[in-house]
Structure 1
Amino acid sequence: MEQLHNELKALIIESLNLEDITVDDIETDAPLFNDGLGLDSIDALELGLAIKKKYNIVIDADDTNTREHFASVANLANYISNNKK
């Protein structure tokens, strides 16, 4: 799971062009939005597209659980590992 966490952190940095942030700067359980990494809804869309491209998993924007899936790297990793084919 740690490898997936690091992959996701790298994907976040790459897909959102976060030039001043490294994988080590992103805490696995820290919030990705608001007080955490400070991502916004546009970032969520970009990240969702990157996840779809890399893992072939679609995260439904209308799903009521989507906000929870995007809450942290740990949550995203759980969602991806549970939905991989």
Structure 2
Amino acid sequence: MDPLIDEIKHLIIESLNLEDMAPSDIDPDAPLFGSGLGLDSIDALELGVALQKRYGLSLAAESDETRRHFASVSTLAAFVATARTR
């Protein structure tokens, strides 16, 4: 398992207070919004703030690029990995 994906799963659970969920419950390729994990726009804001604090990321709230990064845990991990190497 990719340690960064696992780290992001933990961050999602912590930042969104998903106490009933374990990291193993989150499919890294499932959508974070809608039929997948079922997050909403408030969750997206909270998760964005948590990612900014943890990884020092810069996110534009209304950009299509940010929406693509937030598609799944895997796409978030790819974004964080890329941002870390800049």
TM-score (norm 1): 0.95
* Alignment pair present for 1:27 and 2:31: no
Distance 2:15 2:4 in 1: 16
Structure 2: gaps (5+ residues): none
Matches within 5 A, 1:48-59: 48-59=48-59
Distance apart, 1:58 and its partner CA? 1.6
Distance apart, 1:71 and its partner CA? 0.5
> Match of 2:63?
63
Deviations 1:29-83 (A, max 9, x none): 0111000000000000000000000001122113221111100000000011111
Structure 1: gaps (5+ residues): none
Distance 1:77 1:21 in 2: 19
> Match of 1:12?
12
* Alignment pair present for 1:78 and 2:67: no
Amino acid at match of 1:77: A
State the identity %: 55
Secondary structure (helix, strand or coil) at the match of 2:64 reads: coil
Residues 48, 58 of structure 1: 8 Å contact kept = no
> Match of 1:37?
37
Secondary structure (helix, strand or coil) at the match of 1:65 reads: helix
